[in-house]
Structure 1
């Protein structure tokens, strides 16, 4: 197995699949690493890398023997300075070297060699105004009919690897709040070619790639708060979980292993289905669109609205993060062989539990592995499918969003509870009054009686957190608090079920709030101090982490100009394909007679030749103008460089 690790400001590690039973493996895998700056830089963009930084960068490739051992065995490494790769691609054999020991290297033996193809691409980002035309053309892609005639879709068509196009495209659309409508448009196109509901969003189309990349970008913290504690437990205190009879070792007890695996699966599953409140709003918006598009495409299938969402959030998000926690920065390093196997089994289980309706008898019989079929017989309980359904409803719901054009607030919940008078410093029964509470999509209010004017109103946008309150605060059960910038509002529900329902409703309706707190005080401030942490200042920051401690709309630092430059480079590199596609459109739209040979355009999607032709003309014209700007910049840079420098060397005369 090969692990690649760029040596710059962060530990970005990726590894190949294991090649078994061979001493001459061929991996044929491609990895992408992005050169970024650390957060300690104070310049405008994290993507700007100084010349002196590049001189220090290197790519390290490690070769390991996986074997059947608990720990992988290190075989050798290769270090390639990025400065030798600049503006070129290197395909060569590299001799493996021993790992360095301090300042001295170990004795060099014949450790073998590795053939690599390494390419370093450097973008020259021009001032923002140069990208206006291309940026505007890309951002209006979701409004183009059909979507296949848009600049963003054409970009994915001409790039040999869709990943090249998807990464900068998703970032650019995210930066300008245009991703959701674009994903909806390409997903609708994807669904036109989907004939069976049970295969929905299972391929690697532009739609699925865009959603995958979006989840990786905006869902990092969501994964961290949801999975990291349980993944840490699995990796740091591993229990044997192997249930495949063929892979069991001597002395292993399959029943105990199955119990251990069931314990881990239950815990991971429970954390996931309880995490909907932490799901970023952008992910919820995308899931909402996918859900309704799927229901529209397959109106007679009541389950497809759920499978459309679960195919992403369970199969392509949580299950992938479980099996590769180091890739999602949930763990600092890849797990050992035994733990990796445990995570693989957990991931398989989560995929199955998350697949809507997967726990039926007909589905159990379709398992490839008999041992997994036996394992899942213990999961045939309605509570699992109901938990998944509720979770999918929550993450693809728009309950907390008010429909555009609606003048009246949407009523969500109301009921009678007890409120403690705000600002009182002593404990006493007289401080608690029975009030009528009402929650709408705009505000949270309480009244003396039902149908009376509100005594106090908290706008939804002002709510910072909604959390349980320790019973010890007022010696009362079923209490929760609403933090809104002034004095905390302490409320006692009539029972624990009612308290949970109110907390959940308030959390859901406030998850879009930008200023939500990450920490809170689980007890009250009484008699001059917080009962929980004993801090004497009432303004002291909270001492406990909030249940949903990530803002729904996490701000992501994206350099829009840098991403547009990357897209320009892709169009420029694939200019010949753009011209072929333009010729194909011209042949179809203009002549309607003999067309070009099928090989010239059969791999392209051309729904509307006239609209596609028009967009292609715009793209080619913009690319040509940007190319001219780049040439002028390079000439200016070269002429302004100091005579005798690397950019402007002295030309020696031949005598």
Structure 2
């Protein structure tokens, strides 16, 4: 078994050029770190041969990590301690925050922590708590959320995870146009090529910037619910921290959604799976200029004269003089209002209802207790940004209207409820509306469209019943009270292709490994807390704990004691498991697989 590493050159060429490849046996990666030189080999292409010495060589530095994930019950104590973190006061005394403090690189801790908290629906309150702590140290409103703190890294990672589909539906088409039919956009006089016309290039750049900007500010209806919830929290925390600054509530959101999300995706589309490869040099330069423009346009009030004069590049200052300040500023404001509000709004820039989807499906009569074919009627459904209606026939007056703001959840319905496939339900405060689509694709499209337009409804449900209430009880949980709380957690907060598979036990194992690696720092932090708590002041050299955040020494000490006790028990469990595995499992079995090549 081996890993293949390909080497490509993208230089100033139109297409990436394959240079060579190597294969590294997995068995050599079992060390913590591995370094070696390898001769590049030709690509495997049947029986054709090539001189390997013509391809050069490649030096690899590979780190290999092996996770030994125990059964879920072993992680219960650590998992529960981590999930309590959003409720710990102060947040700096929580297990999650402590992990970020002791890890040398915060990113090592952020990825598994964000995934675990996201999996258990605890991410939004945790980000709000660490963001509030971040704001305590922010003295100027214009520097809000500009550093690489735990709060900003958590938001960055959250947007990468849940915002993939959002980027795709918003930017992919325009990025494809820029990469596949590129126009010269260089406006730096020093970098102009012979024969280039700076005025034509500026028009080309303006065309691209206008198009990207328009796609972004009209995309709020596609913004995932989780991102909206986070932006809402950040907006209100910022307004609370700087009550006399009317613009800070917008800059708190724009610093993420424009500067750290859209602008980054524009300049590195391959990183966000918007393009298969890194773009060529000329296209990369165009994307960089567009990204700079989007960052500036997205910064609240960034087109003022004082801001324009602060541009390092004179050519960028001249370029931005062509933008109408009020028009773009108002578009940004409307967009930021939409993605950070708890109320459903019309898509940016649109005052009339927008038709999102329509078509013919079957609707079950509401309130019927018996199962029967006569209960299902063919109806014409119409979804706009304001309401969902159904009609007896197309172009007829609606028989029933559900305002979008009243929809609480949209979920699939178990086939067993009515012995029918492709069914979903719209929960809106009265009797659930049960609908059967003509096929599974159509059902998914309707669910996705409804979820998008209701993503900011303030009273969204967290739980629902996956089956119907018939003959006096819910078929799913057998509860006999019709208005009882649902028995399953809502899953359709975001479109299906933005939902991710997270293995909570694997993420908890990674967190355990990080704690274990940094045990000496945990102990040093524990000693510092003990010293402060007992002597009411530092009795050790400041260097011992000056890099740690200790707001409440007693609360932090208590959490550290819990962490260390849990780690000791998990260490014992790992040792027992490894001994059992090596002594009882047959070599070559799933529990004790063969490592390396089989000759």
Contact 2:220/2:347, CA 8 A, preserved across alignment: no
Does the Cα contact within 8 Å between 1:242 and 1:342 map onto a contact in 2?
Answer: yes
Where does the alignment leave 5 or more consecutive residues of structure 1 unmatched? 1-56
What is the CA–CA distance in structure 2 between the aligned matches of 1:283 and 1:559, rounded to whole Å? Answer: 21
Over residues 410-436 of structure 1, what are the superposed CA-to-partner deviations in whole Å (9 max), with x where a residue is unaligned? 999999999999999999999999999
C-alpha distance in 2 between matches for 1:386 and 1:404: 10
Q: CA deviation at 1:380?
A: 3.0
Cα 1:179/1:454, change in 2 over 3 Å: same
Matched, 1:81 2:3: no
1:119-159 deviations in Å (ceiling 9; x for gaps): 11111111111111111100010111110000000010111
Distance 1:456 1:327, change over 3 A: same
- TM-aligned CA distance change 1:133 to 1:531, over 3 Å: closer
User: Which of 521, 524, 528 pairs up with 1:577?
Assistant: 521
Q: Sort the Cα spacing of 1:527 and 1:235 in 2 relative to 1 into closer, same or farther, 3 A.
A: farther
TM value normalised by structure 2: 0.76
8 Å CA contact retained: 1:82, 1:120 = no
**Structure 1 pair 150–411 and aligned structure 2 pair: CA distance change class (3 A):** farther
The 3 A distance-change label for structure 1 pair 136 and 102 is: same
Matched, 1:463 2:407: yes
Listed one character per residue, the Cα deviations across residues 32-79 of structure 1 (whole Å, up to 9, x for unaligned) are xxxxxxxxxxxxxxxxxxxxxxxxx65555555565555566555444
Q: Using the alignment, how far apart are the partners of 1:559 and 1:532 within structure 2? A: 25
Q: Do the aligned residues in 1 keep the contact of 2:33 with 2:64 (CA within 8 Å)?
A: yes
Question: CA deviation digits over 1:184-240, x for unaligned, max 9?
Answer: 000011111111111111111100000000000000100001111111111111111
- Give the secondary structure class of the aligned counterpart of 1:115: strand
Offset at 1:356? 0.7
Task: Work out whether residues 219 and 280 of structure 1, in 8 Å CA contact, stay in contact via their aligned partners in 2.
Answer: yes
Q: Which one is further off, 460-469 or 580-589?
A: 460-469
Counterpart in the other structure of 1:325: 269
Aligned-partner Cα distance in 2 for 1:303–1:489: 42
- Tell me if structure 2 keeps the 8 A contact 1:276–1:395: yes
Contact 1:170/1:179 (8 A) holds in 2:
yes
Contact 1:278 1:549 in 2 (8 A): no
The 5 Å alignment of 1:467-546 reads: 510-511=454-455
What does the per-residue CA deviation read over 1:600-642, in whole Å, with 9 as the maximum and x for residues that have no partner? 2111111111110000000000011011111111111111123
Deviations along 1:426-481, one digit per CA (max 9) or x if unpaired, are 99999999999999999979999999999845375996999999999999999999
Q: Which has the higher contact order (CA 8 A, sep 6+)?
A: 2
Cα distance change on mapping 1:526 and 1:144 into 2, 3 Å:
closer
Contact 1:166-1:210 at 8 Å conserved across structures: yes
- Change beyond 3 A, Cα 1:310–1:496: farther
Q: Mean alpha-carbon deviation: is it higher for 426-435 or for 319-328?
A: 426-435
Distance 1:504 1:173, change over 3 A: closer
Say if 1:279 and 1:552, in contact at 8 Å, map to a contact too: no
Number of aligned pairs?
599
The within-5 A match list for 1:255-404 is 255-400=199-344
Give per-residue Cα distances to partners, 1:96-139, cap 9 Å, x unaligned. 44555544452122655444321111111111111111111000
Residue pair 1:437, 1:447 contacting (<8 A) in 2 also? yes
Cα distance in 1 for partners of 2:573, 2:440 equals 66
Alpha-carbon distance in 2 for matches of 1:118, 1:392 = 42
Indicate the larger mover: 177-186 or 396-405: 396-405
Greater fraction of residues in helix: 2
TM-score (norm. length: structure 1): 0.70
1:548-596 deviations in Å (ceiling 9; x for gaps): 9963994321111111111111111111111111111111112335622
| Counterparts of 2:494 and 2:105, CA distance in 1 | 33
| 70 and 640 in structure 1: CA distance in 2 versus 1, 3 angstrom threshold | same
Displacement of 1:408: 26
Q: Distance in 1 between matches of 2:193 and 2:383?
A: 58
Residues 631-640 or 505-514, more deviating: 505-514
Cα gap change, 1:249/1:603 in structure 2, threshold over 3 Å: closer, same or farther?
Answer: same
Check conservation: 1:515, 1:551, Cα contact below 8 A: no
Q: Is the 8 A contact 2:360 2:380 kept in 1?
A: yes
Q: Which moved more, 1:537-546 or 1:135-144?
A: 537-546
Moved more, 638-647 or 416-425: 416-425
Q: CA RMSD in A?
A: 11.3
Change (3 A) 1:536 1:220: farther
Contact 1:520-1:541 within 8 A present in 2 as well: yes
CA contact 1:58–1:80 (8 Å) conserved in 2: yes
Task: Name structure 2 gaps, 5 residues minimum.
Answer: none
The answer on whether the counterparts of 1:469 and 1:481 sit within 8 Å (CA) in structure 2 is yes
Q: Is the 8 A contact 1:226 1:272 kept in 2?
A: yes
Post-superposition Cα deviations, 1:328-358, rounded to whole Å, max 9, x if no partner, equal 1111111111111111111111111111111
Q: CA deviation at 1:493?
A: 27
**Which 10-residue stretch deviates more, 60-69 or 457-466?**
457-466
Q: Contact 2:78–2:508 (CA<8 Å) still a contact in 1?
A: yes
Q: Paired residue for 2:108?
A: 164
Q: Secondary structure at the match of 1:68?
A: coil
**Alignment check: 8 A CA contact 2:9 2:18 kept:** yes
Q: Is the partner of 1:300 in helix, strand or coil?
A: coil
Q: Give the stretch that moved more between structures: 203-212 or 634-643.
A: 634-643
From 96, 114, 132, the equivalent of 2:40 is: 96
Structure 2 CA distance for partners of 1:387 and 1:119, relative to 1, 3 Å: same
Q: For the Cα contact (< 8 Å) 2:36–2:61, is it kept in 1?
A: yes
CA 1:161/1:526 → structure 2, altered by over 3 Å: closer, same or farther?
closer
Q: Secondary structure at the match of 1:490?
A: strand
